[in-house]
Amino acid sequence: MPRQTSELTLDEARTIIAAAFKKGAELGLKPLAVTVLDAGGHLKAVERQDGASFHRPEIGMGKAYGALTLGLGSRSIGTRAEQQAYFVNAVNGLVGGKMVPVAGGVLVRDAAGDIIAAVGISGDTSDQDEACAIAGIEAAGLKADAGA
């Protein structure tokens, strides 16, 4: 069924979370937290698996928030932080320190290529977190944009 809205639905957010957890289980990862933000940076959904450490949801939120803030996957923001530390630190200061510039924050695009949300995952290595975010987004029938 074609999408009826340009916003991420709660059902899609739930699908992303469930599929991300499934991917984590397939890979034998540590317990994860998955945070889904809408395009405006507002919390849409969050779940933390049993055993995931205390602030994993907030770390995931920081990855997703950074992706939305700069329109780049958080992996790309991390690379940029290595090359332009003053810029990334300045932006992070402007947004109240809410960005976490490491892999695991992935933009969600609709069929038209518009950013409709971001997913941030924390719990295992950043590379594995990102792989789970991509799997979740794709399971919802959307396009994952992790950046380069």
What residues does each domain of the chain span? 10-145
Average pLDDT over residues 88-99: 97
Least Cα distance to 25 among 111, 136, 142 occurs for: 136
Residue 52 Ramachandran class (φ > 0 left, ψ -120 to 50 alpha, else beta): beta
Any idea which fold 10-145 has?
Answer: Beta-Lactamase (3.30.450)
With 70 as the cut, is the pLDDT of residue 19 above it? yes
Average pLDDT score over residue span 94-106: 97
The string of pLDDT tens digits covering residues 35-70 is 999 999 999 999 999 999 999 999 999 999 999 999
Percent pLDDT > 90 in the chain is 95
The answer to whether residue 75 scores a pLDDT higher than 90 is: yes
Residue 5: which residues within 8 A CB-CB, separation 6 or more? none
pLDDT score for 148: 62
Query: What pLDDT was estimated at residue 2?
Result: 55
